[in-house]
Amino acid sequence: MKIVHIHHHYWPVVGGLENVVKALAEGMAKLGHEVHIITSTHGAQDRPREEEINGVHIHRVKSIRLGYPDLTYPLEYPIDVLRKAVVHGHSQNSLFTVKMIEKAKELGVKTVTHFMAVDALSDHPNALVRLLGPLYGRWTVLRAIRSSDARLVKSLRDKEMLKSRYGIDAIYVPDGVDEELLNTPNMAGKFKAKYNINEPFVVYVGRLHRLKGIDVLIKAISIATREEPTLTAVIVGPGDQRPYRELANRLGVGRNVVFTGFVSEEVKISALDASTALVLPSISNYVEVFSLAITEAWARGKPVVASAVGEVPYRVRHMVNGLLVPPRNPKALADAILQLIRDRRLGERLGAEGRERVTTWGKVIDELLKLYAS
């Protein structure tokens, strides 16, 4: 089968959705399918316009960008790549994805769109985005609905939104993890030795972006350390550390907040293994469509403390497989962290329950291939 995945970013750009598309594409290629990626040149650094990596054919097309990554507009369309294929677009919020799916529909090929963060910009902290974002979001949703033969979601929130607001019955296909993540021996010792960190500590995994609420986590640590002075927050992921380091120093917890920057998969998993819990303090519906970090923590048997935004409250059940807290509330987040530090058995129970809900990329890919063929 010829399969084309569409998104405005691909490797070497690293991020949640970029990692998802890469896992799907390479997994399908390993099964013998002809897999292509159509993406933009943005973030590609010095990579060639056309190349093959791990059996996946990558096509980087010229485009323009209007400030935000989602506002990436293609200036060319690789028609020969789109022909006689199943074309799977990722995120209707991406103008690049919507335009490519529309072109594929014009060519008469099968089209599939994964809808993400449907109508989710109304709580954005930027006033201009709150004003114009919902209009743009509705416009792209309607265009993607018209151009898609199959409409998928990875979020039960988005499934609910598409049904109630647009009358669309979407198919739920969540993200997965590599099977080896469920079976790899515990690597906590490697992380502690590498970073010379002792317990207790909690870990954040993701981009250093203001919508991710890292400032809320640092404020929570400044509260929690009044009762647990050795408590540390380890922040794993790429981005500008400077404003967060400055905040930690101002609050007197500079030594209690450790930044690792971008790390390998092995180091990331060893950080989860060594931690008390994963903390996800996001402040906006828009950035929490389906958190792979939550799935990875559960795969390692770790509990999750997360803000009740986006898809999170549909997956994380309070006191069942994690702890939910209100967004932008450092005191509530500090209390939840302290609860898990003081009650390790609770953390073990929540983590074990979460592990039961983890699916693998193999199962996800099998489901998508059946859908493509139907």
What confidence score (pLDDT) does residue 128 get? 72
Reading the block at residue 328, the tokens are 């932008």
149/214 same-domain check: no
pLDDT on residue 121 = 75
Give, in order, the Cα–Cα distances in Å from 180 to each of 24, 142, 269, 286, 296.
16, 39, 11, 30, 11
- Asked, as a colleague might, if the bond just before 12 is cis with ω within 30 of 0, I would say yes
What CATH number does residue 202 fall under? Answer: 3.40.50.2000
Same domain for 166 and 184, yes or no, is: no
> In terms of domains, do 139 and 185 share one?
no
Do residues 138 and 256 both lie within one domain? no
Residue 78's closest CA among 92, 54, 96, 55? 96
Question: What is the DSSP-derived secondary structure letter of residue 253?
Answer: -
Beta-bridge mates of residue 2: 34
Considering the domain architecture, whether residues 279 and 295 belong to the same structural domain is answered as yes
In this prediction, residue 193 carries a pLDDT of 87
User: What stretch of H or E contains 350?
Assistant: helix 344-355
- Contact between 67 and 73 (Cβ < 8 Å): no
Which residue carries 């390479």 as its tokens? 26
* Helical spans, DSSP H, in 251-311: 265-274, 292-299
> In this structure, are residues 281 and 287 in contact, taking their beta carbons and an 8 Å threshold?
no
| HSE-CB of 365 using CA atoms within 13 angstroms | 23
- What is the full per-residue pLDDT of the chain (374 aa) written as tens digits? 999 999 999 999 988 899 999 999 999 999 999 999 999 999 998 999 999 999 999 999 999 999 889 999 999 999 999 999 999 999 999 999 999 999 999 999 999 999 999 988 777 777 777 777 789 999 999 999 999 999 999 999 999 999 999 999 999 999 999 999 999 999 999 998 899 888 899 999 998 999 999 999 999 999 999 999 999 999 999 999 999 999 999 999 999 999 999 999 999 999 999 999 999 999 988 778 888 899 999 999 999 999 999 899 999 999 999 999 999 999 999 999 999 999 999 999 999 999 999 999 999 999 999 999 98
- Domain hosting 294: range is 180-355
pLDDT at 330: 98
- Predicted local confidence at residue 47, as pLDDT: 95
Output the CA torsion sign for 126, 130, 131, 136. positive
Tokens for 305, please give them.
């403390």
Give the C-alpha separation, 17 to 1, whole Å.
Answer: 23
254 and 145, same structural domain?
no
Per-residue model confidence (pLDDT) at position 133:
77
How much is the pLDDT for 302? Answer: 97
Do 281 and 153 belong together in one domain?
no
- Cα angle for residues 291, 293, 294 (degrees, 5° grid): 70
Cα 368 from Cα 365, distance rounded (Å): 5
Q: Which amino acid is at 42?
A: H
Length of the chain: 374
Are 164 and 197 contained in the same domain? no
Cα–Cα distance, 37 to 182 (Å, whole number): 28
Domain co-membership, 166 together with 215: no
Q: How many CB atoms lie within 10 A of CB 143?
A: 17
- Asked whether the beta carbons of 42 and 106 are under 8 A apart, the reply is no
What is the total count of domains within the chain? 2
Statement to judge: residues 160 and 308 lie in one domain: no
* pTM beyond cutoff 0.85: yes
Dihedral sign from CA coordinates of 86, 162, 370, 361:
positive
Q: Which residues pair with 278 in a beta bridge?
A: 203, 304
